Amino acid sequence: MLILENIEVSYGPIKALKSVSLEIAAGEIVTLIGANGAGKSTTLRAISGLVPSQSGRILFEGKEITNKPADQIVQLGVGHSPEGRRIFANMSVRENLELGAYTRRDRAGIAEDLERGLTLFPRLRERIGQNAGTLSGGEQQMLAMARALMARPRLLLLDEPSLGLAPFLVRDIFRIIQDINQQGTTVLLVEQNAHLALGIAHRGYVLETGHIVMADEAKALLANDDIKKAYLGE
Amino acid sequence: MHDLPQQILIGLQLGSIYALIALGYTMVYGVLKLINFAHGDVYMVGAYAGIGAAWLLGTWLPSVVHLPPLIPSPLGAVLVLLASMVICGLLGLIIEQAAYRPLRTRAWIAPALFLGAAVGYVAYGIATNANRTPVSAIIIGIVAWAGLAALLYTTQRRRSPGSGSRLTALITAIGVSLFLENFGVLPQIFSSDPRFFPNDPPIARLAPNVETGLIFTVSLVLMIALTYIVTRTRIGKAIRAVSFDSDAAALMGINTDRVIAFTFALGAALAGAAGVLVFGLQHTKFDPYVGILYGLKAFVAAVLGGIGNIPGAVLGGLIMGLAETLVVAYGPNIGIDSTYRDAVAFFLLILILLFRPAGLLGKFAPEKV
Amino acid sequence: MPLWKRFGGIALVFGLLLLLDHLLYGPSRVAHDQYKEDVLIRCGLAIILAVSLNIVNGFTGQFSLGHIGFYMVGAYVGAALSTYGHTHLFPQLPTDGSPVGLWTSALPILAVSLAGGLAAAAIGFLVGLPSLRLRGDYLAIITLGFAQIILVIVRNIKAVDGATSFTGLPVASQDQALAHVATPHLTSLFWVFLVAALVIWVAYSLRFSVHGLAFLAVREDEIAAEAMGINTTRYKVLAFVLSAFFTGIAGALFAHYQSSLSNESFRFERSIDVVVMVVLGGLGSISGVTIAAVLLTILPEALRPIAQYRLVVYPLLLVILMLTRPQGIFGREEVSRAWLRGQLTSIAGWFSRRPDRV
């Protein structure tokens, strides 16, 4: 479904991604784990067109999307719930969700997906008219995910959905990610909490200073001694 | 102080003009974080566009089709207003495409087209001045155009998108502003001779017996229309989303470049309307430099209200218009000379920014560590 | 740097300037040409203005659009001092505004420059204070606001004929010739370029000292600079004060070159001109800014043959340069031998390199 071939990204003189290649098949949950500054978010930003890649190719469903404008990539079916949530704090929850469906014109379908999103995240239903800036951190995370789903993406990029959330909320969020996946959306999950991420993922990639250093089944990675030492704290 | 209500009305009227111009500054600042210095000059072009339209409807058209002149009549006035708004909207669009967009993206066709046309025209003019034959002057113009297009083609392909700094954009805006003024001064364009709307060229007035409240009313209608667009329509929501966080907006599938272009057009159209309202209804003198001071004060109004904030721009404009009018009216009684009218705006600005660093309605975001 | 080298440089500058002065104003007046002198004086003033604005805009990254206000303060304070203090302080000066010899002008010009510079520095302190709270565009607009206020206030000061133009004062005297004291014509190329050299020297010493690093740290990341123990407040205000001081001196020099002083010379567009010099020269690069100041002063003169079009050519060039060389004509590095070599390699590389893939 998604293929990255030797993607290279620089911010000015600093190379954030040196040569990243990965592959995601339809229906999978794939997780990208790594330390702070390893380039996880940059990988997602390169896929969704927020940062230009200096070299390499990105293919989505066989079509090349390298350096396409971000809005076109969304339209092709890639949703992105970005790092730091980036919700529109000056708008209501409903307006945020409506903006998520900006590319769509089918009113009935949008209403249906709004309902589906509110069923996945019942907390948002209670807050629907409220200003998004007044939501709690966990609710904002839910809103960011629900908003990304409103475009009906076939591939969902999730950046650190557990960041700054209370442990019971983190479990909720990860259960919902599994639900979303079971409803047919492929997920690329970037996480610092490697334990949880590998727990729900089918496969995983390990990113270190701009390189993919390991790729395997999630179970195998969980059992790997190096991974245990470096990322699982065992 | 018996004429206070009258003075307040005059103040509101002036303020509503500042507000109309300030809206363009504030919206563009919202989506692009750019002080669009050229905005005041768009307002100037609006006045000239109004003259042109009024001449077409009031003098030229009747002479061609033998109909009663449309000027003065309410319909004619509305047509003049709309014509100026459309022309200025297009101008705003061209400015964005030719000068600002290529700073952010690899776009080269629009700048090569428009900047190239300007360069070609200037080269042609210089060649004519130097007593070249018309044919060779035209060839020189075309060569200059092609040369610039080639230069932009080669440099733009090497640009890494998003690399342009804000200072670069600011200096570009200053360049565009100076260009509009000095291009307007050219004798074959507007020339530097000041004009009065109803007398020069001799056309009838836009509306007979203008009531003082008319400018205020028309501005109010335009502001209500803008509010509707921004809060209720799809593109309006997109504008707000891009203003708040343009990356996040792009992730919603919003074409941010298109939204920025639309914002420029919208703001410029409002400035064009302001140009017609002031110079078409108040009958004051204007020349190609008239946009500088109005633009500056309108920008101050936008900052006063909190730049990027749409209600703030209206509030800032009205406060400034009132303050300025009241100083002129009553200042001399308490020893403030009326020449201080041009400083009032800035006194207010400094005072307010010292207490509310992000303006009246702006949210002060302490920088993150 | 060995002592002889440092003082040798100063002596050289002095010597050259004296020679220039002698050639221009000396008894032989070989090269004297009023027009060329005007242009050169304006180049020198532009250098002082641009290099001192660079201390604020280029070194500390605080954006000032209001330096023309400091220039105005310097000009009017200086002119007021020499005109009003004429009889008491400088009785040796002519009252008809005719040019003054180099040695006769030395003390008076020192006095008016200091007065103009200090007055501007005081105002600079006042304007610099908001920079403690405001950043970026808000600071830019505040400085612009201060300049506009200064303009309006001066316009309302009758003692210097702010509303019209200040040509000197009428005095009660029976002698017809002494009935009007003109602002003395003290400024000559020697003084202008001496101050220009001084400003450049101060800017260089500042830039390549420990303080220079602190300034740059404030520019790059104020919060990080603060965290490193740099007193950002002090540096920001210091930059404003220093920059205003030199700008004020330039103003005083300007006032004593003109036969009349008009508020028209201090419109906000003049601030913009200087900002453009700093940006085109490369923010922070002293040599680049100096060259840009000279180029941009001469450019309109060079464009004179194309008459009304020159006013259009300048903004077009500005827009095109921002598109093609946003880092300034010379980049942000100092112009040096290593810089030249780098430029040549990159030009050579330009022809061999393929453009990035789109």
The answer to the question of residue C113 being in a domain is: yes
Pairing status of strand A155-159 against strand A78-81: parallel
The answer to the question of residue A196 being in a domain is: yes
Count, residues in chain C: 358
Domain B10-100+168-194+208-355 classification at class level: mainly alpha
Residues 6+ apart with CB under 8 A from B67: B61
Distance CA C319, CA B179 (A): 9
Task: Indicate the residue of B237, B241, B251 with minimum beta-carbon distance to A74.
Answer: B251
pLDDT on residue C2 = 57
Neighbours of B246 (CB within 10 A): 20
- For residue A10, the SS3 value is strand
CA distances, C58 to each of B39, C43, C55, C219 (Å): 26, 20, 6, 8
Please give the average per-residue pLDDT across B35-58, as a whole number: 91
ipTM of the complex: 0.92
Task: Decide if C123 contacts C147 (C-beta within 8 A).
Answer: no
Task: Test A100 with B241 for CB contact under 8 angstroms.
Answer: no
Cis preceding-peptide flag for B72 (omega within 30 of 0): yes
The answer to the question of residue A131 being in a domain is: no
The answer to the question of residue C307 being in a domain is: no
Shortest Cα distance, chain A CAs vs residue B246, angstroms: 10
Neighbours of C307 (CB within 10 A): 12
Neighbours of C28 (CB within 10 A): 10
Lowest mean pLDDT among B108-112, C177-181, C193-197, C240-244: C177-181
pLDDT on residue B368 = 41
Please count the CA atoms within 13 angstroms of the CA of C285 that sit on its side-chain side: 22
Residues C127 and C215 in one domain: yes
pLDDT on residue C30 = 53
Task: Test A102 with B252 for CB contact under 8 angstroms.
Answer: yes
Task: Test B248 with A88 for CB contact under 8 angstroms.
Answer: yes
Residue C169: phi and psi, rounded to 5, are: -130, 150
C305 vs B contacts (CB less than 8 Å): 130
Question: pLDDT-based confidence at B223, cuts 50/70/90?
Answer: very high
Confirm or reject contact between A21 and chain C (CB < 8 A). Answer: no
Interface of A with B in 37-66 (CB under 8 A): 48-50, 52
Confirm or reject contact between B109 and chain C (CB < 8 A). Answer: no
Task: Test A54 with C356 for CB contact under 8 angstroms.
Answer: yes
Task: Decide if A212 contacts A5 (C-beta within 8 A).
Answer: no
B237 vs A contacts (CB less than 8 Å): 91, 95, 98-99, 102
Residue of A nearest to C355 (CA): A54
Residues C13 and C53 in one domain: no
CA distances, C142 to each of B259, B299, B345, C131 (Å): 30, 12, 11, 9
Task: Indicate the residue of A75, A79, A91 with minimum beta-carbon distance to B240.
Answer: A91
The answer to the question of residue A139 being in a domain is: no
Location of structure tokens 């789903």: A149
Confirm or reject contact between B122 and chain C (CB < 8 A). Answer: yes
Asked if pLDDT for residue A233 goes beyond 90, the answer is no
| Residue pLDDT, tens place only, B279-315 | 887 767 888 999 988 998 999 999 999 888 899 999 9
Interface of B with A in 342-361 (CB under 8 A): none
DSSP string, B265-313: HHHHHHHHHHHHIIIIIS--EE-TTHHHHHHHHHHHHHHHH-TT-HHHH
Domain count, chain C: 2
The answer to the question of residue A166 being in a domain is: yes
Task: Decide if C240 contacts C131 (C-beta within 8 A).
Answer: yes
Neighbours of C164 (CB within 10 A): 11
DSSP string, A55-76: EEEEEETTEE-TT--HHHHHHH
Neighbours of B189 (CB within 10 A): 13
Residue of B nearest to C144 (CA): B346
Confirm or reject contact between A99 and chain B (CB < 8 A). Answer: yes
Neighbours of C339 (CB within 10 A): 16
Asked if pLDDT for residue C99 goes beyond 90, the answer is no
Task: Decide if C219 contacts C43 (C-beta within 8 A).
Answer: no
Pick from B31, B234, B251, B361 the residue to mutate for testing the A interface (most A CBs within 10 Å). B251
pLDDT on residue C358 = 36
Nearest to A125 by CA among A142, A141, A108: A142
Pairing status of strand A14-24 against strand A2-11: antiparallel
Residues 6+ apart with CB under 8 A from A189: A29, A30, A31, A32, A158, A161, A177, A197, A200, A201
Question: pLDDT-based confidence at A63, cuts 50/70/90?
Answer: very high
Task: Test C358 with B157 for CB contact under 8 angstroms.
Answer: yes
A197: burial class by Cβ within 10 Å (0-12, 13-18, 19+)? buried
Lowest mean pLDDT among A6-10, B338-342, C29-33, C306-310: C29-33
- Residues of chain C with pLDDT > 90: what percent? 22
Rounded to the nearest integer, the mean pLDDT of chain B is 87
Interface of B with A in 226-265 (CB under 8 A): 234, 237-238, 240-241, 244-245, 247-257
Determine the straight-line distance between the first and last CA of chain A, rounded to whole angstroms. Answer: 34
Distance CA C82, CA C60 (A): 34
| Residue pLDDT, tens place only, C100-134 | 777 788 888 899 999 999 999 999 998 888 777 77
Domain enclosing residue A214, as ranges: 2-86+152-232
| Residue pLDDT, tens place only, A163-184 | 888 888 898 899 999 999 999 9
Question: pLDDT-based confidence at B369, cuts 50/70/90?
Answer: very low
Domain enclosing residue C192, as ranges: 35-269
User: What letter represents residue B61's amino acid?
Assistant: L
Those chains having 3 or more beta-carbon pairs within 8 angstroms of chain B are A, C
Distance CA B13, CA B57 (A): 27
A67 vs C contacts (CB less than 8 Å): 358
**Domains of chain B, residue spans:** 10-100+168-194+208-355, 106-158
Task: Decide if C145 contacts C137 (C-beta within 8 A).
Answer: no
Those chains having 3 or more beta-carbon pairs within 8 angstroms of chain A are B, C
B187 vs C contacts (CB less than 8 Å): 308
pTM of the complete model = 0.88
Task: Test C355 with B354 for CB contact under 8 angstroms.
Answer: no
Domain count, chain A: 1
Q: With left for phi above 0 and alpha for psi between -120 and 50, is residue A86 left, alpha or beta?
A: left
Please give the average per-residue pLDDT across B47-71, as a whole number: 82
Please count the CA atoms within 13 angstroms of the CA of B188 that sit on its side-chain side: 7
Residues C21 and C128 in one domain: no
Lowest mean pLDDT among A148-162, B175-189, C191-205, C330-344: C330-344
The encoded tokens of residue C272 equal 């913009």
A/B interface, count of CB pairs below 8 Å: 68
Domain boundary residue, one of C249, C269, C289: C269
Distance CA B21, CA B298 (A): 6
The encoded tokens of residue C342 equal 């780098």
Shortest Cα distance, chain C CAs vs residue A46, angstroms: 14
The answer to the question of residue C286 being in a domain is: no
Confirm or reject contact between A106 and chain B (CB < 8 A). Answer: no
The encoded tokens of residue C55 equal 């201390």
Domain boundary residue, one of C223, C251, C269: C269
B247 vs A contacts (CB less than 8 Å): 50, 70, 82, 86
Confirm or reject contact between A192 and chain B (CB < 8 A). Answer: no
Neighbours of A98 (CB within 10 A): 18
Asked if pLDDT for residue C206 goes beyond 70, the answer is yes
- For residue C12, the SS3 value is helix
The answer to the question of residue C260 being in a domain is: yes
- For residue B367, the SS3 value is coil
Question: pLDDT-based confidence at C89, cuts 50/70/90?
Answer: confident
User: What letter represents residue B264's amino acid?
Assistant: F
What angle do helix axes B256-276 and B4-32 make, rounded to 10 degrees?
160
Residues C199 and C158 in one domain: yes
Confirm or reject contact between B125 and chain C (CB < 8 A). Answer: yes
- For residue B220, the SS3 value is helix
Asked if pLDDT for residue B366 goes beyond 50, the answer is no
Rounded to the nearest integer, the mean pLDDT of chain C is 81
Asked if pLDDT for residue B205 goes beyond 80, the answer is no
Q: Which CATH number does the domain housing residue A16 bear?
A: 3.40.50.300
CA distances, A71 to each of A45, A106, A151, B251 (Å): 12, 18, 11, 6
A215: burial class by Cβ within 10 Å (0-12, 13-18, 19+)? middle
The answer to the question of residue A141 being in a domain is: no
pLDDT on residue C31 = 53
Residues C63 and C176 in one domain: yes
Domain boundary residue, one of C223, C246, C269: C269
Degrees to nearest 5, angle at CA C272 with B106 and B192: 95
Residues C75 and C103 in one domain: yes
The answer to the question of residue A179 being in a domain is: yes
pLDDT on residue C176 = 58
pLDDT on residue C356 = 43
A55 vs C contacts (CB less than 8 Å): 357
